Structure 1
Amino acid sequence: MIWMSWRQFRAQAIAGVLVLGALAAYLVITGLDIRAAREGYTAQCQATGDCAAAMLRLVGDYRTRLLLLAGVLGLVPVLIGMFWGAPLIARELEEGTHRLAWNQSVTRRRWLAVRLGTVILAAMLLAAAAGTLLSWAASPVDAIAGDRFGTVNFGARALSPIGQAAFATVLGAVTGLFLRRTLPAMAGTGLLVLVVLFVMPNAIRPHLMPARHETRPMTVEAIDAAHGLGTLGSAPVLKGIEIPGVWVTSVSELLTADGRPLDPKIFDDCLMRAPKTGATGTFGDSSVCLAARDLHLDIAYQPNERFWTFQCLETALYLLLTALVGALALWRIRHTSR
Structure 2
Amino acid sequence: MIWLTWRQFRVQALVAAVALAVIAAYLVYLGADIRDAHDAYRARCASRPDDCPPALAQFRGDYESTLLFLAAGLQLIPVVIGTFWGAPLIARELETGTHRLVWNQSVTRRRWLAVKLAFLALAGAALTGAVAALLTWAARPFDEATEDRFSTIVFGARGIAPIGYAVLAFTLGTVVGLLVRRTLPAMAVTGVAFIVLQFVFPNMVRPHLLPPEKTTLRMTVQAINGAQNMGSITGGAVVHGLAVPGSPGAWVSDISPFRTADGRTLSGAKFDECLNSPRRTGAGGKFGDTAVCLARMNLHVDVAYQPKSRYWAFQGLETAAYLLLAGVLTVFGLWRVRHRVS
Band the TM-score falls in, shorter-chain normalisation: over 0.9
Residue 331, structure 1, aligned to residue 314, structure 2: no
Structure 1 residues 305-320: aligned runs within 5 Å: 305-320=309-324
1:234 to partner: Cα distance: 1.7
SS in 2 for 1:301: strand
Q: State the Cα distance separating 1:47 from its structure 2 match.
A: 4.5
User: How far apart are residue 177 of structure 1 and its match?
Assistant: 0.5
Q: 1:165-202 CA distances to partner (integer Å, 9 max, x unpaired)?
A: 00000000001001111111111110011011111111
Instruction: Please give the secondary structure, in 1, of the residue aligned with 2:303.
Output: strand
Please say if 1:136 is aligned against 2:140: no
- Partners of 2:298 and 2:49 in 1: how far apart? 39
Q: Does 1:177 align with 2:141?
A: no
Post-superposition offset of 1:20: 1.0
Identity of aligned residues (%): 53
Closer/same/farther in 2, CA of residues 48 and 237 from structure 1, 3 Å limit: closer
Q: What is the distance in 1 between the residues matched to 2:56 and 2:301?
A: 31
Counterpart position of 1:93: 94
Shift of 1:260: 1.6
Question: Alpha-carbon deviation of 1:128?
Answer: 1.0
1:256, distance to aligned residue in structure 2 (A): 1.2
Is the 1:56–1:144 Cα contact (8 Å) retained in structure 2?
no
Cα distance in 1 for residues equivalent to 2:191 and 2:26: 26
Aligned residue in 2 for 1:25: 25
Partners in 2 of 1:43 and 1:289 — Cα distance? Answer: 39
1:146-169 deviation line (CA, Å, top 9, x unaligned): 111111111111100000000000
Q: Say whether residues 1:282 and 2:286 are aligned partners.
A: yes
Aligned partners of 1:182, 1:92: CA distance in 2, in Å? Answer: 9
Question: Which secondary structure state, in structure 1, belongs to the residue aligned with residue 59 of structure 2?
Answer: helix
Give structure 1 stretches of 5+ with no counterpart. none
- Residue 126 of structure 2 aligns with which residue? 125
Task: Name the CA shift for 1:93/1:247 in 2 (closer, same or farther; >3 Å).
Answer: same
Contact 2:275 2:290 in 1 (8 A): yes
Q: 2:249 matched to 1:245?
A: yes
Aligned-residue Cα RMSD (Å) equals 1.7
Q: Contact (CA 8 Å) 1:42, 1:51: kept in 2 or not? A: no
Deviation at residue 49 of structure 1 after TM alignment: 5.4
5 Å-filtered alignment, 1:1-150, equals 1-48=1-48, 52-53=52-53, 54-150=55-151
- What is the TM-score with the length of structure 1 in the denominator? 0.95
Question: In structure 2, what is the Cα distance between the partners aligned to 1:131 and 1:9?
Answer: 23
Q: Distance in 2 between matches of 1:270 and 1:40?
A: 42
Q: Secondary structure at the match of 2:110?
A: helix
Helix, strand or coil for the counterpart of 2:86?
A: helix
Given that 1:238 and 1:253 are in contact with CA atoms closer than 8 Å, whether structure 2 keeps it comes out as yes
Counterpart residue identity of residue 329, structure 2: V
For 1:287, give the aligned amino acid.
A
Q: Provide closer, same or farther for how the CA distance between residues 235 and 51 of structure 1 changes in structure 2, counting only shifts above 3 A.
A: closer
Matched residue SS, 2:235: coil
In structure 2, what is the Cα distance between the partners aligned to 1:210 and 1:321? 22
Q: Deviations over 1:197-239 (max 9, x none)?
A: 1111111111110101110011122122222222233211112
Query: Which 5+ residue runs of structure 2 have no aligned equivalent?
Result: none
Give me the whole-angstrom Cα distance separating, in 2, the residues matched to 1:242 and 1:48: 25
Map of 2:269 onto structure 1: 265
